[in-house]
Amino acid sequence: MNTRHQNLQRISLLFIWMVNAGASAEQVNNHAHHGMHLDNTGMVMNNNMDKLPVECSAISEDHAFTVYANVEYAKSFAGNSFGMSQHHYQVEPCSRITVTFVNQDEVRHQWMVHGLPNYIYPGGMFHLEAAGGKSQTGTFIVPGSDTTYLVHCDMAQHMEKGMKGQLQVGAGDGQLWAIPGVTGSINRDRYSGNKGVNRAALVAALFLLAVLVIYGARLFKKS
Amino acid sequence: MLKHFLIFLLALTGMLICIPSDWLPVNMRLQWADWFGADAYIEPPGSRATPIYSNQVICPEDLPGWRKAQVIEGVSIRATKACIPDNPFTIATAVMGSNRVSPDTLNKSGLTPDAIVKGRDLDGDGDPDEIHIRLEVIELNGGSPEMQEPTTQFSIAPGIKPGLWVFAPKTLGMATENFESNRARALLRLPAPVIRVEQGDTVKITLENTHYMPHTIHFHGVDHAFLDENGEGNDGVPVTSEQALMPGFARTYDLNPRHAGTMYYHCHVQPQVHIMMGLQGMFVVEENRPNNLVQTLNVGAGHVRVPSKSVSEKYHREYDLHYQDIDIDLSNLIQQNNDVRLITEQMHRQYNASQAISDFYTLNGQSFPYTFRESLIVASPNENIKLRVANGGSHGIALHTHGHKTTLTHNDGVPVPEGAQITRDVFWIATSQRADLDLNTNNDGLHSYGDGVWLLHDHEEKGITNNGIGPGGNIGAIVYESFMREDGWPLTFGNSYEQYFSAEYYQRQLPVWHSYSNGFFDEAGPDITHIARVVGYWFFLGLALIQFVYLVKRFGSKI
Ligand SMILES: [Cu+2]
Ligand SMILES: [Cu+2]
């Protein structure tokens, strides 16, 4: 599980800036060819309606998800600030997935999947970015193997504070850490509690200790 | 009985032999030496092997050709000598506006189409006067529920990654640099970008709160009405002006600066925490001139590669210098927990700003040696160079120029009358003050002593350290072109910089003069003889006590 997590973490960092200063003309063309769309409402990157991954002979199923980004969704998970309406996605291998990402906040958000095959998705990712109050729709086709993909918003601290999910293809290959409402965290937060609770815990501990002592004494007496 | 008595005597002897001589009174030792001569020579411990330390490339090669002078979108961008130059496409977009450059330039700038929108020319003098800037709030070196190292990393010096909050230009795409690292992309950094507008512009600044805590912006010294056109608070102060802007929300501030000068902006929510976390930047209002397209954002401050018309009239070059300091006890709090309620409590209730002690001191968001990569003031003889200095730290700075006496022309954006201008080599700049300095490179023995590599630093000496290890902190330099190497590093005559580019040096693991002292000042190893004697002493003491108690008992029972 640990190794798996770390692999996926690394994958989550996989990123080729779409048309960065060092990119060659060929790469730029590739991006254009791969359904790059950018305007004031945000962008769609690596849109793919029809290119099949090598393991797939045909599209198995069509899925459509409408995902909302809204700080209101963070309220369901105490301690978070950002939220999305869905954190777990389940599809069959070779599915074609259309995501409509509706951003109801006033700041931009992303819905990104990492770890997809590079030969179809440059940088291994499918990326929707919606400006505040806007929505984006894009389509991609998942490969034929059972894999769990990371879904997140990559803005600084958005994944950490609520915008993380997982896309399970088939049976998946394990779960990711710290998916709100699905899996727990590796790094546990240190809650200090308060005086009342701490005192009650102390009383409870002393009581349990007394029970143990009495039980032990009786046990020895019998023998 | 006799056996135990002998063991007792033996233990006493062992104790006497083992007792380290420096434990005995000096007079006793002198008397002893009078009788029997001085102690024999004991070889001191040898030097420890110096740990293998990692170092970094001091000055990375400029592969994309960003240092050279170039024209992009019709904007003449000056050459820069910096090891790590600013992205010229971002500069061109900052000058022209993100709505008025080609898609290619915009892509290469990293900005969104609405990051810097430039509108109409209101006074008909050939430059746009409607300026709309969007800023986001970015956390650098933050925590995570799963990673064991900081996220969206930004190093202020080798291996030093304090948690930081910054205002950042509105960028498109991911927060990290590339697919191999979790380093923040270049536009997301300390300090917040320098904002530059023209006097009389109609400026809108939209704060898009992309961070998990409430924030505002207060424009310090920049002319603005207390309420905007809609009757809403415009001063950025919670309570008196407006409610703090919650995560996920946006708010627009309206400014119409009637006076030029070097100003400042910062968050005003719990300022003792939020300003010190890094939510502060310089704000420059340039004098109005015809056809004056100013560089609206100077990311990372430093060299202004497209200076305004008014500055170019009087000065050969212009540099923005933003000083800050960091208390690691505060900035580390964002790395310890992920629950925003815990972070909030620890930063605003448990942390006590009245007892803060700063550990790191930055110039343009970095500490030495990284300051030499980006913030050198490059000069030629017989020039006037405009230094805009802002001190956003929690302490005053005593800014000292080696080899030069500069002249203070403006205090907090207000011109000092010609006859009252002071020329000196240390200027005291209190917290949040700004000073415009005229650096004159005429070699007259007063303003300049001639070509060289002349330090520029805070003379409060803790300010030139990284958590107490020197050299570090806000050390910069004035370097003449004749002393600049081709790669962007100054031509120096002292010791190698190599060890300063290792995290281990600033983690107190390397002897300070190791690289050039031929072992004279290496770290001394442990004194094994001494340790053995101390251990032996306590062993024999214990043995003697046991025998003593045994003997007393036996003796007592016999009587
Ligand atoms: Cu987001
Ligand atoms: Cu704030």
Q: What are the pLDDT digits (tens) for B264-290?
A: 999 999 999 999 999 999 999 999 999
- The pLDDT of residue A35: 64
- The pLDDT of residue A36: 74
Nearest to A63 by CA among A30, A98, A88, A35: A98
Q: Determine what percent of chain B is predicted with pLDDT higher than 70.
A: 99
Q: Which of B2-11, B187-196, B313-322 has the lowest mean pLDDT?
A: B2-11
Check CB contact under 8 Å for A157 and B341.
no
Q: Which of B78-92, B134-148, B222-236, B505-519 has the lowest mean pLDDT?
A: B505-519
- The pLDDT of residue B501: 94
Q: ipTM score here?
A: 0.90
pLDDT of A11 over the 90 cut: no
- The pLDDT of residue B127: 96
Confidence of residue A195 (pLDDT cuts 50, 70, 90): confident
- The pLDDT of residue A38: 83
pLDDT of B200 over the 70 cut: yes
Q: Which of A14-18, A148-152, B150-154, B166-170 has the lowest mean pLDDT?
A: A14-18
pLDDT of B548 over the 70 cut: yes
pLDDT of A191 over the 80 cut: yes
Radius of gyration of chain A (CA): 24
Confidence of residue A92 (pLDDT cuts 50, 70, 90): very high
A90 and A60 Cβ atoms separated by less than 8 Å: no
Task: Please check whether residue B480 touches A, CB under 8 A.
Answer: no
CA of B152 to the centre of ligand 2 (A): 19
B359 and B395 Cβ atoms separated by less than 8 Å: no
Instruction: Tell me the nearest-neighbour CA distance from A161 into chain B, angstroms.
Output: 7
B267 and B281 Cβ atoms separated by less than 8 Å: no
Alpha carbons A17 and B172: distance in angstroms, whole number:
10
Q: Which of A16-25, A81-90, B423-432, B532-541 has the lowest mean pLDDT?
A: A16-25
Check CB contact under 8 Å for A107 and B208.
yes
Confidence of residue B419 (pLDDT cuts 50, 70, 90): very high
A145 and A170 Cβ atoms separated by less than 8 Å: yes
B139 and B213 Cβ atoms separated by less than 8 Å: no
Contacts of B107 in chain A (CB under 8 A): 18-20, 38
CA of A84 to the centre of ligand 1 (A): 9
Residues whose CB falls within 8 Å of the CB of residue B533, separated by 6 or more in sequence, listed in order: B18, B19, B20
pLDDT of B234 over the 50 cut: yes
pLDDT of A14 over the 50 cut: no
A174 and B225 Cβ atoms separated by less than 8 Å: no
Interhelix angle B2-18/B528-558, nearest 10 degrees:
150
- The pLDDT of residue A26: 32
Confidence of residue B121 (pLDDT cuts 50, 70, 90): very high
Instruction: Tell me the nearest-neighbour CA distance from B122 into chain A, angstroms.
Output: 25
pLDDT of B400 over the 50 cut: yes
Contacts of B139 in chain A (CB under 8 A): 156-157
SS in 3 state form for B254-314?
A: EECCCCCEEEEEECCCCHHHHCCCCCEEEEEEECCCCCCCCCCEECCCEECCCCCHHHHHH
Q: Which two tokens stand for residue B133?
A: 């800037």
Ligand with minimal distance to B214 CA: 2
Confidence of residue A6 (pLDDT cuts 50, 70, 90): very low
Alpha carbons B439 and B448: distance in angstroms, whole number:
9
Tally Cβ neighbours within 10 Å of residue B244: 20
Residue B30 parent element (H or E): helix B26-36
> Span B347-356, mean pLDDT?
96
pTM of the model: 0.90
- The pLDDT of residue A18: 33
- The pLDDT of residue A12: 39
**Which of 527-556 (B) contact A at CB < 8 A?**
none
pLDDT of A3 over the 60 cut: no
Confidence of residue B496 (pLDDT cuts 50, 70, 90): confident
For chain A, what is the mean pLDDT? 85
- The pLDDT of residue A87: 97
Residues whose CB falls within 8 Å of the CB of residue A124, separated by 6 or more in sequence, listed in order: A11, A14, A114, A115, A116, A117, A118, B179
Residues whose CB falls within 8 Å of the CB of residue B113, separated by 6 or more in sequence, listed in order: A38, A39, A40, B98, B99, B106
Residues whose CB falls within 8 Å of the CB of residue B546, separated by 6 or more in sequence, listed in order: none
Alpha carbons B365 and B154: distance in angstroms, whole number:
10
Q: Which two tokens stand for residue B464?
A: 């030139």
> Span A70-83, mean pLDDT?
96
CA of A12 to the centre of ligand 1 (A): 15
B358-385 as b/e, with b when 16 or more CB fall inside 10 Å?
bbbbbbbbbbbbbbbbbbbbbbeeebbb
pLDDT in tens, B302-341: 999 999 999 999 999 999 999 999 999 999 999 999 999 9
Contacts of A15 in chain B (CB under 8 A): 173-174, 176, 178-179
Check CB contact under 8 Å for B338 and A189.
yes
Q: Which of A173-182, B17-26, B177-186, B206-215 has the lowest mean pLDDT?
A: B177-186
**Which of 64-123 (A) contact B at CB < 8 A?**
70-71, 78-82, 105-108, 110, 112, 123
CATH of domain B70-310+330-339: 2.60.40.420
The three-state secondary structure class of B236 is coil
Confidence of residue B421 (pLDDT cuts 50, 70, 90): very high
How long a stretch of residues is chain B?
559
Q: Determine what percent of chain A is predicted with pLDDT higher than 70.
A: 84
pLDDT in tens, A101-112: 999 999 999 999
Residue B75 parent element (H or E): strand B75-77
> Span B221-234, mean pLDDT?
94
pLDDT of B351 over the 60 cut: yes
> Span B332-352, mean pLDDT?
96
End-to-end CA distance of chain B: 14
> Span B72-82, mean pLDDT?
97
- The pLDDT of residue B559: 65
Torsion on CA atoms A166, A167, A169, A174, rounded to nearest 10: -10
For chain B, what is the mean pLDDT? 95
B229 and B254 Cβ atoms separated by less than 8 Å: yes
